[in-house]
Structure 1
Amino acid sequence: MQKSTASFPGSDPKEKLLKPARDIRSILRWGYPKFATIRFVAEHSRLSAEERHILSRVIVSPEKVVSRIRKKIACDSINNRDLLLDGYNVLLSVDSLLKKEPMWFCDDGYIRDTRYYFGKKNQAEDLEEALDSVLEFLSEASPKSVSFLLDSQISRSGELAGFIRRKIENYGILGDAYTSKTADFDLKREGGNSEKNLIIATSDGIIIDSVRQVLDIPACLMEKKGIEPLRLY
């Protein structure tokens, strides 16, 4: 399939950020801290808060890149495996993809959206289309089981978990959905347990650093649809 670049609204957001991204990467190679470096370069380049947000999502400190890439598994290699999804992370990213928001190929090899929000509470509505896209992909990939983990501190997470359970059953997938007050901790604990051998679906760098194997579902969907992400190089 011939790939095409996604048709994102507005002007190309990457043009202004290419040089700052190169400058930041050059400084990071000397061992300087990531966020202080981004702040320094962003102030020098007069970047907006949203542009800084993009850089913080896309650029990854060099010492983390290789480890994260090694943990990423192929989209077609989850057959008969147990899968645990970082629920809001995956669904909101797929929602961004479906809404043709910019999707970025980040330095550690993962796809991330950069919708400029400071919390998930106002974003976690009307995720049915994103959920259907995820479950359609999973039903074709044939994992052994699928579980969605949702942060209970986000409004109506319990209702969403119930909705996901019904959807999972409709797609003929063995799975569950549940909430936790310590979702990130649970994902890191479960994904780091060598005996359980779980695959964690997420693009959250902090979680990736603590688990053994990671599936990038937005990347899988983009590959299937022939959509190329934006790149800052």
Structure 2
Amino acid sequence: MRDLHVSSADLSGPCLKDELLKEKLLKPARDIRSILRWGYPKFATVRFVADHFQLSLEERHILTRVIMPPDRIVSRINKKMECTGIKDRDLLLDGYNVLLSVDSLLKKEPMWFCDDGYIRDTRYYFSKAKQAEDIEEALNAVLKFLSKTGPKSVIFLLDAQISRSGELAGFIRHKMKEYGISGEARTSKAADFELKTEGGSSEKKIVLATSDGIIIDSALEVLDIPACLMEKMGIEPIRLY
């Protein structure tokens, strides 16, 4: 993907807002990365630099999501699969993580290229429950992508604690049949634990679709579906460097 370069003549509306936000965060991002190279803890470093630049809560959260300690970067990048690499493989999706990220993409919310090579948004971080209903368009986009990339089977795993997850799982199963995709959608009261366990099993060799860093750290192979869709659509993420 090429870098995001926007001329002043092309800036308008959300594009202008995103570009101004990027420019504001570039210097803090560089300072945080420089300090992290000395081994200082990430969250304390972000707080220290953000206090110095008098950043808002949203701006601090963006920096926390985008910037990674050096010891995490190489490991996570090495786990990332090519978009075409899941043919005839078993795929396990971190349901809300993937669907809500794709929903943000389709709604033209800022999508950030993070230091560990994954695409993340910041729109739903504080409240998944409030935003988990109107995602049919995102589901269609994901299923269309999967129908063309040909995984052997697909499992959508949803957090049972989020309201109406069971209903959404049923709807996903119905849509999977429409697209001719083999697999299932189900809920779990320990979704993160299951994702880590299944994705980290050397016997099952399951590909995990997520951008959750903690889950990525436990996985063997990871697919970044929002990044795949952005590449196909010709959409560039925002890069803080």
* TM-score tier (shorter): over 0.9
Instruction: Give the letter for the 1:209 counterpart.
Output: D
| Bigger mean CA deviation after superposition, 5-14 or 100-109 | 5-14
Where does 1:1-233 land on structure 2 (aligned, <5 Å)?
9=14, 10-11=16-17, 12=19, 13-115=21-123, 117-233=125-241
Runs of 4+ in 1 over 4 A off after TM superposition: 1-8
Q: Secondary structure at 1:121's aligned position in 2? A: helix
Q: Say how many residue pairs are matched.
A: 233
CA contact (8 A) 1:5 1:229 kept: no
Counterpart residue number, 2:9: none
Return 5+ residue gaps in structure 1 as ranges.
none
Q: Secondary structure at 2:127's aligned position in 1? A: coil
Deviation at 1:118, TM superposition (A): 1.2
Deviation at 1:119, TM superposition (A): 2.3
List per-residue Cα deviations over 1:83-119 (Å, max 9, x = no partner): 0000000000000000000001000000000116412
Q: Which whole-Å CA distance do the structure 1 matches of 2:125 and 2:86 have between them?
A: 31
CA contact (8 A) 2:210 2:216 kept: yes
CA distance change for structure 1 residues 8 and 171 in 2, over 3 Å: closer, same or farther? farther
CA contact (8 A) 1:148 1:176 kept: yes
Deviation at 1:125, TM superposition (A): 1.2
| Bigger mean CA deviation after superposition, 2-11 or 181-190 | 2-11
CA distance change for structure 1 residues 51 and 163 in 2, over 3 Å: closer, same or farther? same
Q: Which whole-Å CA distance do the structure 2 matches of 1:224 and 1:156 have between them?
A: 31
CA contact (8 A) 2:100 2:124 kept: no
CA contact (8 A) 2:124 2:131 kept: no
Instruction: Give the letter for the 2:228 counterpart.
Output: C
CA RMSD, aligned part only? Answer: 1.7
Return 5+ residue gaps in structure 2 as ranges.
7-11
Q: Secondary structure at 1:163's aligned position in 2? A: helix
Q: Which whole-Å CA distance do the structure 2 matches of 1:109 and 1:120 have between them?
A: 23
